[in-house]
């Protein structure tokens, strides 16, 4: 058997990587030692960072999350007789979502089944061979007992702490860092409505306690216990008494109910390096484990996979191995940041040591709730750092939608997730576009978002209207939904004014303007419709309310009154009330304005502005024909 990528491990990281590669038209095969039902039933992490949610939406996996997930603005910190709320949205502009790992896994499995990609469950005797060569292979025994071999271009280990993948890296090349904590969690899943609107992290002399949730009717609790704790000694009554004691607060009551599950969870930090050896890459728990206190485990795996998928796409579609070469270093920067945050949260909240240590912990907790800067540091780490990009050159390769590399990058700017730090602007020069015009434009958009500019992806689209009195220019502002070396993409109603105008004259110009940053970008070129598959992925990543609005509005057509529009909107909402997946309207299309000419403008004192123009060959491979500096 031959494939392009073998992924060992069909947990969330393996499934998501397979999905992202599939969107780019890259075939993969999944291997998993457990049964599919077992994988889907695992009860694990339940908090998704802002960047994780944005990524899932972006790649068509956000529909059920938006419908069933619970958005949280922050958390509560508690110690005896004090409970304080940290509002992440006020502090950082980012929230988190309660949506269990099992639900993410279900969504990923459904997407893989719909894509018809190959997966082997209940495999055994997995062995990796020749991963340091250009012909790696994986041997295994399938669920029927039949030996199998898969030859591939790349092997990815998403097989967890005990999987064989990291063992394929020679010991002389591999270094392991590990910290085992002197306490564990007694985890409890209870069929009871949560007693809080957001998670409670409680420090108590008896030990740490956490009140989490899985849904609006199922609560998740944790109690600090000894790693050697005998779970049979914890009756339901003892568990509820322990929780009530540690969460005790005047005027607040803990709701109790039937306990469905309970288990003891050891606490450890673990990192193995490097995360790449030859053509073997590690992601998720195969490379690192963090204590669950900081809600980093699943989110860290998603960040790995997002970074790795882009590196693999660049390698297999462009022959660009640069992103793969920097994958381990870039990923480990985030891994160690998240490992530190998880260690810090864990050691601050769990009783260990003597009373001197306890007073230090309480001092740190008070500092967080009294200091905006300390609270912001916690909020930024908890709500999640922006997803990294491997290198600027690698940014030109983005997710496509099963139609191959020619359509890479159509959907990746639907929501800007990166918030790069904005610094004093270096001079714009001809060398600024050495890596191409698209990485520079992407960087400017990300810096605009970082600077707090609302709708940083907004662009002015100008088209030509053919009238009886001759051609007339017309402009309107839309959101850029995709960016690649081929051009920029937006979606609209084909029956709208701009849709008709683009049918008559398939040529347009777009302008991005960020006055606060003193920057503009002008792009012009021929216009073409994007493939229907791309439009479908974009459509199904949109919130349900936006989809209903698009069905209700016949864009640009006259309407009698607002009352009439509201009536039609209500009818559409009723029409699709029982429809889980709202179909794409036939009139909904995407357009790509191909980059024929791109000009970057940068404000300078005395109106001596910088202007750099890039002329491109749209009939070929979008290569730059010439780069020209223009007078201001």
Q: What is the dihedral of CA 364, 369, 370, 374, to 10 degrees?
A: 70
Counts for the chain of helices (H) and strands (E), in that order: 16, 30
Give catalytic status of residue 399 as yes or no: no
pLDDT for residue 545? 85
pLDDT for residue 533? 85
Rounded Cα–Cα distance for residues 51 and 95 (Å): 10
For strand 588-594 and strand 519-529, is the pairing parallel, antiparallel, or unpaired?
antiparallel
Rounded Cα–Cα distance for residues 483 and 527 (Å): 14
Q: Of these residues, 296, 350, 498, 540, which one is catalytic? A: 296
pLDDT for residue 399? 40
Q: What is the C-alpha radius of gyration for the chain, rounded to an integer number of angstroms?
A: 26
> Are residues 498 and 476 in contact, defined by beta-carbon separation less than 8 angstroms?
yes
Angle value at C-alpha 183, between 179 and 189, nearest 5 degrees? 115
pLDDT for residue 117? 78
- Bond prior to 274 in cis (omega within 30° of 0): yes
pLDDT for residue 516? 82
- b/e code 234-273 from CB counts within 10 Å (16+ = b): beeeebbebbebbbeeeeeebebeebeebebeebebbbbb
Give catalytic status of residue 106 as yes or no: no
Q: Of these residues, 76, 201, 327, 591, which one is catalytic? A: 201
pTM (predicted TM-score): 0.66
pLDDT for residue 422? 35
pLDDT for residue 407? 42
Stated as kind and residue range, the H or E segment containing 277 is strand 276-277
> Are residues 70 and 94 in contact, defined by beta-carbon separation less than 8 angstroms?
no
Q: Of these residues, 327, 382, 399, 407, which one is catalytic? A: 382
Rounded Cα–Cα distance for residues 419 and 506 (Å): 34
Q: Residue 87's beta-bridge partner residues? A: 74
Give catalytic status of residue 296 as yes or no: yes
Q: Which stretches of the chain score pLDDT less than 70?
A: 43-45, 388-425, 620-622, 624
> Are residues 22 and 115 in contact, defined by beta-carbon separation less than 8 angstroms?
yes
pLDDT for residue 480? 93
pLDDT for residue 620? 61
Q: Residue 524's beta-bridge partner residues? A: 509, 597
Sorted by sequence, the CB contacts under 8 Å of residue 176 that are 6+ apart come out as 270, 271, 272, 273
Q: Of these residues, 72, 498, 522, 538, which one is catalytic? A: 72
For 571, other C-beta atoms within 10 Å of its C-beta total: 12
pLDDT for residue 232? 93
pLDDT for residue 619? 74
Transcribe 367-424 into DSSP letters: HHHH-HHHHHHHHHHHH-PPPP-S-TGGGG-----SS-GGGTTSSTTSS----PPP-S
Q: Of these residues, 136, 194, 274, 292, which one is catalytic? A: 292
Edge to edge, the sheet with strand 118-121 lists 118-121, 28-32, 5-8, 154-157, 280-282, 276-277
């Amino acid at each position: 058997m031959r494939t392009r990528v073998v992924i060992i491990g069909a947990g969330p990281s393996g499934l998501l990587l397979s999905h992202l590669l599939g969107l780019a038209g890259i075939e993969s095969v999944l291997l998993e030692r457990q049964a599919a039902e077992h994988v889907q039933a695992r009860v694990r992490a339940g908090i998704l960072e802002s960047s994780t949610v944005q990524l899932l939406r972006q790649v068509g996996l956000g529909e059920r999350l938006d419908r069933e997930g619970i958005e949280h603005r922050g958390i509560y910190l508690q110690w005896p007789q004090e409970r304080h709320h940290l509002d992440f949205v006020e502090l950082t502009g980012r929230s988190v979502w309660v949506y269990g790992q099992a639900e993410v896994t279900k969504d990923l499995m459904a997407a893989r089944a719909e894509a018809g990609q190959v997966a082997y469950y209940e495999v055994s005797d997995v062995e990796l061979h020749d991963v340091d060569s250009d012909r790696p292979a994986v041997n295994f025994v399938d669920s029927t007992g039949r030996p199998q071999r898969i030859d591939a271009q790349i092997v990815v280990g998403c097989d967890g702490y005990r999987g064989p993948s990291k063992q394929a890296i020679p010991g002389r090349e591999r270094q392991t860092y590990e910290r085992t904590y002197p306490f564990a969690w007694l985890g409890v899943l209870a069929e009871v409505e949560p007693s809080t609107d957001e998670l409670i992290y409680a420090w108590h002399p008896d030990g740490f306690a956490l009140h989490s949730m899985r849904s609006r009717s199922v609560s998740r609790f944790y109690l600090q216990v000894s790693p050697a704790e005998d779970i049979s000694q914890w009756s339901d009554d003892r568990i509820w008494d322990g929780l009530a004691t540690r969460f005790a607060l005047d005027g607040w009551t803990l709701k109790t109910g039937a306990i469905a599950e309970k288990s003891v969870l050891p606490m450890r930090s673990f990192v193995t390096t490097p995360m790449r050896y030859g053509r073997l890459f590690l992601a998720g728990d195969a490379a690192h484990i963090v204590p669950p206190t900081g809600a980093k485990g699943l989110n860290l795996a998603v960040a790995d996979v997002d970074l790795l998928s882009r590196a693999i796409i660049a390698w297999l579609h462009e022959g660009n191995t640069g992103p793969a070469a920097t994958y381990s270093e870039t990923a480990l920067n985030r891994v160690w940041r998240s490992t530190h945050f998880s260690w810090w949260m864990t050691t601050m909240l769990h009783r260990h040591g003597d009373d001197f240590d306890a007073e230090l912990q309480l001092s740190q907790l008070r500092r967080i709730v009294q200091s905006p800067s300390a609270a912001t540091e916690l909020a930024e780490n908890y709500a999640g750092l922006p997803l990294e990009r491997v290198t600027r050159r690698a940014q030109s390769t983005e997710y496509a939608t099963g139609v191959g590399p020619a359509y890479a990058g159509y959907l990746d700017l639907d929501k800007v997730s990166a918030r790069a730090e904005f610094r004093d602007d270096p001079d714009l020069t001809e060398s600024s576009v050495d890596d191409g015009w698209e990485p520079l434009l992407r960087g400017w958009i990300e810096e605009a978002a970082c600077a707090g500019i609302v709708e940083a992806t907004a662009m002015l689209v100008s088209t030509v209207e053919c009238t009886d009195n001759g051609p007339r220019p017309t402009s309107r502002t839309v959101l850029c939904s995709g960016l690649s070396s081929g051009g920029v993409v937006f979606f609209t109603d084909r029956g709208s004014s701009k849709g008709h105008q683009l049918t008559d004259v398939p040529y347009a110009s777009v302008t991005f303007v960020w006055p606060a940053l003193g920057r503009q970008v002008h792009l012009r070129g021929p216009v073409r419709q994007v493939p229907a598959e791309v439009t479908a992925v974009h459509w199904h990543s949109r919130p349900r309310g936006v989809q209903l609005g698009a069905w209700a509005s016949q864009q640009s057509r006259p309407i009698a009154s607002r009352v009439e529009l509201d009536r039609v909107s209500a009818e559409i909402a009723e029409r699709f009330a029982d429809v889980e997946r709202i179909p794409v309207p036939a009139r909904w299309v995407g357009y790509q304005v191909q980059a024929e000419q791109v000009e970057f403008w940068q404000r300078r004192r005395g109106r001596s502005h910088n202007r750099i123009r890039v002329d491109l060959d749209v009939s070929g491979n979008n290569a730059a024909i010439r780069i020209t500096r223009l007078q201001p």
